[in-house]
Amino acid sequence: MAPTPRPDAVAIQVPGRLGRAGAGLLCAGAVIAATSCSGAPVASPTLRLQRAAAATANAKSFEVRLLREEVIYQAPDRVEQIEHGFGSSASVSSNGTYSTSGLELETITKLYIGGRYYEAAGPTGKPAPFSVSARCAGNSNLADYVLGVLRAVSQSSDIHASGHGFAFTVPRGGAVPATTSGVATVAHGFVTTITVPVSGIPIEIDISSVNTAPPVPTPKGATDSTVSCTPVSGTSTASSGSASAPNTSSAP
């Protein structure tokens, strides 16, 4: 009796005397053609990454991590971005002496909720009050950039397999500030990492908790503040997808 081929194996044409039985044996272990043993077509690298990028960009939520930045995205327009770095504080004593503290761990929490921007900054581990203002055009975040790249990749035809991932190139436009080449990995139908060069150094952006990320609540008791927005040519707010490239510097 001929072995039963695995439904996910790939069929290959075998010339000569092997016939159906021989083909079944090879079907059970070979992965080198574009048709599965069940007859279903195997998606090309371009189509696989396009589909995964579109599914991730259209998700209701996800989390992103890049170096010292942690981001939660909740569709369509709620983002929490936490930045960890180092900072110092200055003070003036009653006798007029000016002094500064040494460098200490600092956390900046930025919230982008619709057209409002919230920010709280202070020493790590010590709750800090939020201020709130209108969000200026061009005030973008890491989630904006990731969404921009995902949407561009979902439309790109410049994709090919590369190791365990997919190499891609997307043109400048919208949330992508420059022509960008990188490598993405896919798992369970979603993009899990995007590696892009920043100042010539490959930087990996991790994407997780797709459709299961925690909520981004609106802070209570935020202090109103007024900001002067500088017009930025060719940019817009997050609701229309504007973004900048990843910022790899420490929080101030």
pLDDT in tens, 156-179: 999 999 999 999 999 998 888 999
| Nearest C-alpha neighbor of 137 from the set 58, 229, 67, 46 | 229
Cα–Cα distance for residue pair 37/117, rounded to 1 Å: 54
CB 156 within 8 A of CB 179: no
CB 185 within 8 A of CB 196: no
pLDDT at 24 over 60: no
pLDDT at 233 over 70: no
Torsion sign (Cα): 53, 57, 61, 67:
positive
Q: In this structure, are strands 131-134 and 223-224 parallel, antiparallel, or unpaired?
A: parallel
Of the spans 18-32, 74-88, 91-105, which averages the highest pLDDT?
A: 74-88
Cα–Cα distance for residue pair 52/189, rounded to 1 Å: 5
**Domain at 50-240: CATH code:** 2.50.20
User: What's at 63, amino acid-wise?
Assistant: E
Cα–Cα distance for residue pair 70/16, rounded to 1 Å: 58
How high is the mean pLDDT of the chain? 79
Length of the chain: 252
Q: What predicted TM-score, i.e. pTM, was given to this entire model?
A: 0.72
Give me the DSSP letters along 85-116.
EEE--EEE-TT--EEEPPPEEEEEEEEEETTE
| Nearest C-alpha neighbor of 168 from the set 42, 47, 32, 41 | 47
* Domain ranges for the chain: 1-42, 50-240
Cα–Cα distance for residue pair 238/114, rounded to 1 Å: 8
